[in-house]
Amino acid sequence: MIYLDNNATTQIDPEVVDVIAAEMRRGPANPSSQHALGRAASDRVDDAIMRIGRCLGSDLSVPGGPRLILTSGGTESNNLALSGLGDNALAGNAPTEKTLIVSSIEHASVLGFAQHAQKQGHDVRYLPVTAGGTVVVEALESVLAQIDSRAAVVSVMSANNETGVVQPIPQISDLCRRSGALLHVDATQSIGKLPATISDLPVDAISFTPHKFHGPVGVAGLWIAPGIKLRPLLCGGEQQLLTRPGTEPVSLVLGMARAMELAVENQSANCRMMEGLRDRFEAALGGAIADLMIHGQDETRLPGTSCVSFPGTDRQSMLMALDMSGVACSSGSACSSGSSPPSHVLLAMGCPQWAVSSAIRFSLSRFSTIADVDTAAERILTVYNRLSS
Protein backbone atom coordinates (compact mmCIF):
# COMPACT_ATOMS: atom_id res chain seq x y z
CA MET A 1 0.00 0.00 0.00
CA ILE A 2 1.32 3.42 -0.99
CA TYR A 3 0.21 5.94 1.62
CA LEU A 4 -0.88 9.27 0.11
CA ASP A 5 -3.22 10.48 2.86
CA ASN A 6 -0.83 12.43 5.07
CA ASN A 7 -3.19 15.37 5.52
CA ALA A 8 -5.40 12.96 7.47
CA THR A 9 -2.59 11.62 9.64
CA THR A 10 1.08 10.81 9.26
CA GLN A 11 3.37 7.92 10.04
CA ILE A 12 4.87 8.54 13.46
CA ASP A 13 8.61 9.16 13.33
CA PRO A 14 10.58 6.26 14.88
CA GLU A 15 12.54 8.75 16.97
CA VAL A 16 9.27 10.05 18.40
CA VAL A 17 8.20 6.49 19.17
CA ASP A 18 11.43 6.04 21.12
CA VAL A 19 10.77 9.18 23.17
CA ILE A 20 7.22 8.08 24.00
CA ALA A 21 8.28 4.52 24.84
CA ALA A 22 11.12 5.72 27.08
CA GLU A 23 8.73 7.94 29.02
CA MET A 24 6.18 5.16 29.41
CA ARG A 25 8.87 2.85 30.76
CA ARG A 26 9.58 5.32 33.56
CA GLY A 27 6.44 4.20 35.33
CA PRO A 28 3.57 6.21 36.88
CA ALA A 29 3.66 9.88 35.92
CA ASN A 30 0.92 12.29 36.98
CA PRO A 31 2.22 15.88 36.80
CA SER A 32 -0.37 16.97 39.38
CA SER A 33 0.89 14.61 42.08
CA GLN A 34 2.79 16.31 44.88
CA HIS A 35 5.34 13.56 45.49
CA ALA A 36 8.76 13.36 43.83
CA LEU A 37 7.56 11.30 40.87
CA GLY A 38 4.79 13.77 40.15
CA ARG A 39 7.08 16.78 40.45
CA ALA A 40 9.57 15.17 38.07
CA ALA A 41 6.79 14.47 35.56
CA SER A 42 5.65 18.09 35.83
CA ASP A 43 9.19 19.27 35.13
CA ARG A 44 9.38 17.10 32.01
CA VAL A 45 6.08 18.50 30.73
CA ASP A 46 7.24 22.05 31.39
CA ASP A 47 10.48 21.38 29.52
CA ALA A 48 8.57 19.95 26.55
CA ILE A 49 6.33 23.02 26.46
CA MET A 50 9.37 25.34 26.46
CA ARG A 51 10.87 23.37 23.54
CA ILE A 52 7.63 23.62 21.58
CA GLY A 53 7.62 27.36 22.23
CA ARG A 54 11.16 27.68 20.87
CA CYS A 55 10.11 25.86 17.70
CA LEU A 56 7.26 28.34 17.30
CA GLY A 57 9.45 31.35 18.06
CA SER A 58 7.53 32.04 21.27
CA ASP A 59 9.05 32.31 24.76
CA LEU A 60 6.62 30.43 26.99
CA SER A 61 8.66 30.97 30.15
CA VAL A 62 7.70 34.62 30.69
CA PRO A 63 5.18 35.17 33.54
CA GLY A 64 2.07 36.75 32.07
CA GLY A 65 3.34 36.01 28.57
CA PRO A 66 2.02 33.64 25.94
CA ARG A 67 0.73 30.23 27.02
CA LEU A 68 0.48 26.77 25.52
CA ILE A 69 -2.61 24.81 26.52
CA LEU A 70 -2.44 21.05 26.06
CA THR A 71 -5.54 19.38 24.60
CA SER A 72 -6.56 16.00 23.19
CA GLY A 73 -6.51 17.00 19.52
CA GLY A 74 -7.00 19.69 16.89
CA THR A 75 -10.77 19.50 17.18
CA GLU A 76 -10.67 20.25 20.91
CA SER A 77 -8.14 23.04 20.40
CA ASN A 78 -10.37 24.68 17.79
CA ASN A 79 -13.49 24.35 19.92
CA LEU A 80 -11.71 25.65 23.03
CA ALA A 81 -10.46 28.66 21.10
CA LEU A 82 -13.80 29.56 19.55
CA SER A 83 -15.82 29.03 22.72
CA GLY A 84 -13.35 30.68 25.06
CA LEU A 85 -11.64 33.56 23.28
CA GLY A 86 -12.30 36.97 24.72
CA ASP A 87 -14.16 37.75 27.91
CA ASN A 88 -16.71 34.92 27.77
CA ALA A 89 -16.99 35.25 24.00
CA LEU A 90 -20.27 33.95 22.58
CA ALA A 91 -21.67 33.44 26.07
CA GLY A 92 -22.95 35.37 29.03
CA ASN A 93 -24.29 38.37 27.11
CA ALA A 94 -27.01 39.08 24.60
CA PRO A 95 -26.32 36.90 21.53
CA THR A 96 -26.03 39.87 19.17
CA GLU A 97 -23.21 41.42 21.19
CA LYS A 98 -20.71 38.85 19.97
CA THR A 99 -19.90 37.92 16.39
CA LEU A 100 -18.07 34.85 15.12
CA ILE A 101 -16.53 35.18 11.66
CA VAL A 102 -15.21 32.08 9.91
CA SER A 103 -14.23 31.27 6.36
CA SER A 104 -16.46 28.96 4.32
CA ILE A 105 -13.63 26.45 3.84
CA GLU A 106 -12.72 25.79 7.48
CA HIS A 107 -12.28 22.36 9.02
CA ALA A 108 -15.43 20.61 10.25
CA SER A 109 -14.49 21.33 13.89
CA VAL A 110 -14.69 25.07 13.18
CA LEU A 111 -17.71 25.03 10.88
CA GLY A 112 -19.54 22.65 13.21
CA PHE A 113 -18.98 25.00 16.14
CA ALA A 114 -20.12 27.97 14.03
CA GLN A 115 -23.30 26.20 12.95
CA HIS A 116 -24.07 25.22 16.56
CA ALA A 117 -23.52 28.80 17.72
CA GLN A 118 -25.76 30.07 14.93
CA LYS A 119 -28.58 27.72 15.96
CA GLN A 120 -28.35 29.13 19.47
CA GLY A 121 -28.96 32.63 18.14
CA HIS A 122 -25.41 33.96 17.94
CA ASP A 123 -24.28 36.21 15.12
CA VAL A 124 -22.13 34.13 12.76
CA ARG A 125 -20.71 35.36 9.46
CA TYR A 126 -19.11 33.25 6.73
CA LEU A 127 -16.36 34.60 4.49
CA PRO A 128 -16.34 33.63 0.79
CA VAL A 129 -13.29 32.39 -1.09
CA THR A 130 -12.00 32.97 -4.59
CA ALA A 131 -12.18 30.39 -7.36
CA GLY A 132 -8.59 29.57 -6.45
CA GLY A 133 -9.53 28.81 -2.85
CA THR A 134 -8.21 31.82 -0.91
CA VAL A 135 -10.29 33.76 1.61
CA VAL A 136 -11.52 37.13 0.30
CA VAL A 137 -9.90 39.61 2.68
CA GLU A 138 -12.11 42.45 1.45
CA ALA A 139 -15.15 40.49 2.63
CA LEU A 140 -13.71 40.35 6.14
CA GLU A 141 -13.01 44.06 6.04
CA SER A 142 -16.63 44.68 5.03
CA VAL A 143 -18.02 42.51 7.84
CA LEU A 144 -15.82 44.15 10.47
CA ALA A 145 -17.03 47.57 9.31
CA GLN A 146 -20.67 46.51 9.85
CA ILE A 147 -20.31 45.30 13.45
CA ASP A 148 -18.61 46.16 16.71
CA SER A 149 -15.32 44.53 15.70
CA ARG A 150 -14.04 44.65 19.27
CA ALA A 151 -16.62 41.95 20.06
CA ALA A 152 -15.66 39.75 17.11
CA VAL A 153 -13.74 36.48 16.96
CA VAL A 154 -12.31 35.61 13.54
CA SER A 155 -11.16 32.09 12.67
CA VAL A 156 -9.26 31.31 9.46
CA MET A 157 -7.04 28.29 8.81
CA SER A 158 -3.43 28.79 7.74
CA ALA A 159 -3.74 26.32 4.84
CA ASN A 160 -6.70 24.32 3.62
CA ASN A 161 -6.71 20.63 4.44
CA GLU A 162 -8.33 19.59 1.15
CA THR A 163 -6.68 21.79 -1.49
CA GLY A 164 -3.53 22.78 0.37
CA VAL A 165 -4.10 26.42 -0.60
CA VAL A 166 -2.28 28.76 1.79
CA GLN A 167 -4.48 31.50 3.22
CA PRO A 168 -3.60 35.23 3.50
CA ILE A 169 -3.07 35.17 7.25
CA PRO A 170 -0.69 38.18 7.38
CA GLN A 171 -3.31 40.43 5.74
CA ILE A 172 -6.11 39.00 7.88
CA SER A 173 -4.00 39.41 11.00
CA ASP A 174 -3.24 43.03 10.18
CA LEU A 175 -6.91 43.75 9.57
CA CYS A 176 -7.97 42.13 12.84
CA ARG A 177 -5.29 43.95 14.78
CA ARG A 178 -6.36 47.33 13.41
CA SER A 179 -10.05 46.68 14.04
CA GLY A 180 -9.68 45.15 17.50
CA ALA A 181 -11.07 41.74 16.53
CA LEU A 182 -9.56 38.56 18.00
CA LEU A 183 -7.99 36.13 15.52
CA HIS A 184 -7.72 32.36 15.84
CA VAL A 185 -5.68 30.42 13.27
CA ASP A 186 -6.06 26.69 12.75
CA ALA A 187 -2.48 25.80 11.80
CA THR A 188 -3.08 22.06 11.89
CA GLN A 189 -1.90 21.50 8.32
CA SER A 190 0.96 23.97 8.16
CA ILE A 191 3.30 23.16 11.06
CA GLY A 192 6.48 21.70 9.60
CA LYS A 193 5.47 22.74 6.09
CA LEU A 194 5.30 26.54 6.42
CA PRO A 195 7.34 28.93 8.59
CA ALA A 196 5.85 28.83 12.08
CA THR A 197 7.35 31.86 13.80
CA ILE A 198 4.52 33.26 15.89
CA SER A 199 6.48 36.33 16.92
CA ASP A 200 6.28 37.63 13.35
CA LEU A 201 2.51 37.20 13.15
CA PRO A 202 0.19 39.01 15.60
CA VAL A 203 -2.56 36.47 16.26
CA ASP A 204 -4.43 35.63 19.44
CA ALA A 205 -4.67 31.84 19.28
CA ILE A 206 -3.17 29.05 17.17
CA SER A 207 -4.21 25.39 17.06
CA PHE A 208 -1.96 22.50 16.04
CA THR A 209 -1.71 18.75 16.51
CA PRO A 210 1.40 16.57 16.12
CA HIS A 211 -0.15 13.64 14.29
CA LYS A 212 -0.08 15.86 11.21
CA PHE A 213 3.73 16.14 11.42
CA HIS A 214 4.81 12.60 12.36
CA GLY A 215 3.92 12.82 16.03
CA PRO A 216 1.38 11.00 18.22
CA VAL A 217 -2.40 11.03 18.02
CA GLY A 218 -4.30 12.06 21.16
CA VAL A 219 -2.52 15.27 22.07
CA ALA A 220 -2.47 18.80 20.65
CA GLY A 221 -1.74 22.39 21.51
CA LEU A 222 -3.53 25.71 21.64
CA TRP A 223 -1.15 28.66 21.77
CA ILE A 224 -2.62 31.76 23.41
CA ALA A 225 -1.20 35.28 23.13
CA PRO A 226 -0.35 37.34 26.25
CA GLY A 227 -3.32 38.97 27.94
CA ILE A 228 -5.93 36.82 26.21
CA LYS A 229 -8.63 35.44 28.47
CA LEU A 230 -9.90 31.96 27.76
CA ARG A 231 -13.07 30.48 29.20
CA PRO A 232 -12.62 26.71 29.72
CA LEU A 233 -14.80 24.12 28.04
CA LEU A 234 -14.36 21.52 30.79
CA CYS A 235 -14.79 21.51 34.56
CA GLY A 236 -13.47 19.24 37.27
CA GLY A 237 -9.78 19.90 37.75
CA GLU A 238 -7.21 22.61 38.37
CA GLN A 239 -4.67 21.57 35.75
CA GLN A 240 -3.29 24.18 33.34
CA LEU A 241 -4.47 27.06 35.53
CA LEU A 242 -8.07 25.79 35.31
CA THR A 243 -8.11 26.43 31.56
CA ARG A 244 -8.11 22.80 30.48
CA PRO A 245 -8.59 20.38 33.39
CA GLY A 246 -7.50 16.77 33.12
CA THR A 247 -4.30 14.81 33.69
CA GLU A 248 -1.66 15.71 31.12
CA PRO A 249 -0.45 12.71 29.04
CA VAL A 250 3.26 13.09 29.76
CA SER A 251 4.55 10.65 27.17
CA LEU A 252 2.44 12.17 24.38
CA VAL A 253 3.47 15.71 25.31
CA LEU A 254 7.13 14.72 25.14
CA GLY A 255 6.46 13.01 21.81
CA MET A 256 4.76 16.15 20.49
CA ALA A 257 7.78 18.27 21.45
CA ARG A 258 10.22 15.96 19.69
CA ALA A 259 8.00 15.70 16.61
CA MET A 260 7.85 19.48 16.33
CA GLU A 261 11.61 19.80 16.70
CA LEU A 262 12.11 17.29 13.89
CA ALA A 263 9.51 19.04 11.75
CA VAL A 264 11.15 22.45 11.93
CA GLU A 265 14.81 21.37 11.94
CA ASN A 266 14.90 20.49 8.22
CA GLN A 267 11.74 22.26 7.16
CA SER A 268 13.12 23.99 4.06
CA ALA A 269 14.76 20.87 2.64
CA ASN A 270 11.74 18.72 3.39
CA CYS A 271 9.40 21.23 1.76
CA ARG A 272 11.50 21.39 -1.40
CA MET A 273 11.55 17.61 -1.56
CA MET A 274 7.78 17.29 -1.11
CA GLU A 275 7.09 20.06 -3.60
CA GLY A 276 9.26 18.32 -6.18
CA LEU A 277 7.45 15.03 -5.62
CA ARG A 278 4.06 16.73 -5.81
CA ASP A 279 4.93 18.43 -9.10
CA ARG A 280 6.26 15.15 -10.51
CA PHE A 281 3.08 13.37 -9.46
CA GLU A 282 0.78 16.01 -10.94
CA ALA A 283 2.78 16.11 -14.18
CA ALA A 284 2.41 12.34 -14.57
CA LEU A 285 -1.35 12.54 -14.12
CA GLY A 286 -1.83 15.71 -16.14
CA GLY A 287 0.25 14.41 -19.02
CA ALA A 288 -2.05 11.44 -19.42
CA ILE A 289 -5.47 13.00 -18.67
CA ALA A 290 -6.25 16.03 -20.81
CA ASP A 291 -9.10 17.49 -18.74
CA LEU A 292 -7.65 16.76 -15.32
CA MET A 293 -8.38 19.56 -12.84
CA ILE A 294 -5.85 20.33 -10.10
CA HIS A 295 -7.50 22.58 -7.53
CA GLY A 296 -5.55 25.62 -6.39
CA GLN A 297 -2.81 24.90 -8.91
CA ASP A 298 -2.17 28.59 -9.54
CA GLU A 299 -2.17 29.51 -5.83
CA THR A 300 0.46 29.08 -3.14
CA ARG A 301 -0.09 25.59 -1.78
CA LEU A 302 1.28 23.28 0.86
CA PRO A 303 4.18 21.41 -0.73
CA GLY A 304 2.67 17.94 -0.51
CA THR A 305 -1.04 18.40 -1.26
CA SER A 306 -2.78 17.60 -4.56
CA CYS A 307 -6.55 17.83 -4.85
CA VAL A 308 -7.44 16.39 -8.24
CA SER A 309 -10.71 15.97 -10.14
CA PHE A 310 -10.89 13.14 -12.66
CA PRO A 311 -13.36 13.76 -15.52
CA GLY A 312 -15.80 10.97 -16.24
CA THR A 313 -15.54 9.31 -12.80
CA ASP A 314 -17.02 9.65 -9.33
CA ARG A 315 -14.96 9.92 -6.16
CA GLN A 316 -16.41 6.88 -4.39
CA SER A 317 -15.68 4.52 -7.28
CA MET A 318 -12.18 5.93 -7.60
CA LEU A 319 -11.51 5.65 -3.88
CA MET A 320 -12.62 2.03 -3.67
CA ALA A 321 -10.71 1.04 -6.80
CA LEU A 322 -7.55 2.82 -5.65
CA ASP A 323 -7.79 1.17 -2.25
CA MET A 324 -8.00 -2.22 -3.94
CA SER A 325 -5.04 -1.24 -6.14
CA GLY A 326 -2.88 -0.27 -3.17
CA VAL A 327 -3.13 3.53 -3.06
CA ALA A 328 -4.38 5.12 0.17
CA CYS A 329 -5.95 8.55 -0.43
CA SER A 330 -9.17 10.36 0.43
CA SER A 331 -12.10 12.31 -0.97
CA GLY A 332 -11.66 15.23 1.42
CA SER A 333 -11.34 15.78 5.15
CA ALA A 334 -10.82 12.60 7.14
CA CYS A 335 -13.42 13.90 9.61
CA SER A 336 -16.17 13.54 7.00
CA SER A 337 -14.85 11.10 4.41
CA GLY A 338 -16.61 8.16 6.06
CA SER A 339 -19.90 9.37 4.61
CA SER A 340 -18.18 11.11 1.66
CA PRO A 341 -20.42 14.17 1.33
CA PRO A 342 -19.64 16.64 -1.47
CA SER A 343 -16.66 18.81 -0.54
CA HIS A 344 -17.82 22.05 1.07
CA VAL A 345 -14.44 23.50 0.12
CA LEU A 346 -14.83 22.87 -3.61
CA LEU A 347 -18.46 24.01 -3.48
CA ALA A 348 -17.35 27.27 -1.84
CA MET A 349 -14.79 27.70 -4.63
CA GLY A 350 -17.59 27.46 -7.20
CA CYS A 351 -16.22 24.33 -8.88
CA PRO A 352 -18.41 22.65 -11.51
CA GLN A 353 -20.45 19.70 -10.34
CA TRP A 354 -18.37 17.12 -12.21
CA ALA A 355 -15.24 18.39 -10.47
CA VAL A 356 -16.85 18.29 -7.02
CA SER A 357 -18.18 14.76 -7.55
CA SER A 358 -14.85 13.38 -8.82
CA ALA A 359 -12.31 15.07 -6.51
CA ILE A 360 -9.65 13.00 -4.77
CA ARG A 361 -7.03 14.31 -2.34
CA PHE A 362 -3.47 12.98 -2.38
CA SER A 363 -1.05 14.19 0.29
CA LEU A 364 2.65 13.46 0.72
CA SER A 365 5.02 13.61 3.68
CA ARG A 366 8.75 13.86 4.25
CA PHE A 367 8.83 10.04 4.20
CA SER A 368 7.37 9.88 0.67
CA THR A 369 9.69 8.78 -2.16
CA ILE A 370 10.03 9.07 -5.93
CA ALA A 371 9.13 5.39 -6.17
CA ASP A 372 5.96 6.08 -4.19
CA VAL A 373 4.68 8.83 -6.47
CA ASP A 374 5.71 7.11 -9.71
CA THR A 375 4.10 3.81 -8.77
CA ALA A 376 1.03 5.56 -7.40
CA ALA A 377 0.61 7.56 -10.61
CA GLU A 378 0.78 4.35 -12.65
CA ARG A 379 -1.84 2.67 -10.51
CA ILE A 380 -4.08 5.75 -10.55
CA LEU A 381 -3.95 5.99 -14.34
CA THR A 382 -4.74 2.29 -14.69
CA VAL A 383 -7.76 2.67 -12.42
CA TYR A 384 -8.88 5.84 -14.17
CA ASN A 385 -8.67 4.35 -17.63
CA ARG A 386 -10.74 1.37 -16.49
CA LEU A 387 -13.43 3.44 -14.76
CA SER A 388 -13.73 6.16 -17.40
CA SER A 389 -13.92 3.85 -20.42
Predicted pLDDT of residue 232: 85
| pLDDT score of 96 | 45
Q: Give me the CATH code for the 2-9+266-388 domain, please.
A: 3.90.1150.10
Q: Distance from first CA to last CA of the chain, Å, rounded?
A: 25
Q: Is the pLDDT reported for residue 281 higher than 70? A: yes
Give the global pTM: 0.93
pLDDT of residue 195: 77
Lowest-pLDDT range of 7-11, 13-17, 147-151, 309-313:
147-151
| pLDDT greater at residue 195 or residue 171 | 171
Is domain 14-265 in CATH 1.10.20.10, yes or no? no
What are the structural domain ranges in the chain? 2-9+266-388, 14-265
Q: Which is the catalytic residue, given 55, 176, 235, 335?
A: 335
Beta strands 305-309 and 359-363, pairing class: antiparallel
Mean pLDDT estimate for the chain:
92
> For residue 191, what pLDDT is reported?
86
Contact, 194 vs 166, CB < 8 A? yes
- Would strands 327-328 and 2-3 be described as parallel, antiparallel, or unpaired? parallel
> Rounded CA gap, 132 and 295, in Å?
7
Supply φ then ψ for residue 333, to 5 degrees. Answer: -65, 140
The 10s digit of each residue's pLDDT in 324-356 is 999 999 986 555 545 568 899 999 999 999 999
Whether the CA torsion 197, 335, 376, 217 is positive or negative: it is positive
What percent of the chain is predicted at pLDDT more than 70? Answer: 94
In angstroms, rounded to a whole number, what is the distance separating the alpha carbons of residues 316 and 306? 17
Instruction: Give the mean model confidence (pLDDT) for residues 116-136.
Output: 96
Q: For residue 139, what pLDDT is reported?
A: 98
pLDDT at position 333, please?
Answer: 59
Task: Band the pLDDT of 98: cuts 50, 70, 90.
Answer: confident
| Residue 88 clears pLDDT 60, i.e. is over it | no
Q: What is the mean pLDDT of residues 126-141?
A: 98
Alpha carbon separation from 317 to 40, 337, 375 (Å, rounded): 53, 13, 20
Q: How confident is the model at residue 376 (pLDDT cuts 50, 70, 90)?
A: very high
pLDDT in tens, 26-61: 999 999 999 999 999 999 999 999 999 999 999 999
The yes-or-no answer on residue 335 being catalytic is yes
User: For residue 92, what pLDDT is reported?
Assistant: 43
pLDDT at 241: 73
Q: Which among 192, 228, 226, 232 has a CA at the least distance from the CA of 209?
A: 192
pLDDT tens for each residue of 181-233: 999 999 999 988 887 677 777 899 999 999 999 999 999 999 999 989 888 88
Q: Which residues pair with 81 in a beta bridge?
A: none
pLDDT at 339: 54
DSSP codes, 320-384: HHHHHHTEE-BSS-TTTTTT-PPPHHHHHTT--HHHHHTEEEEE--TT--HHHHHHHHHHHHHHH
Lowest mean pLDDT among 23-32, 313-322, 325-334, 362-371: 325-334
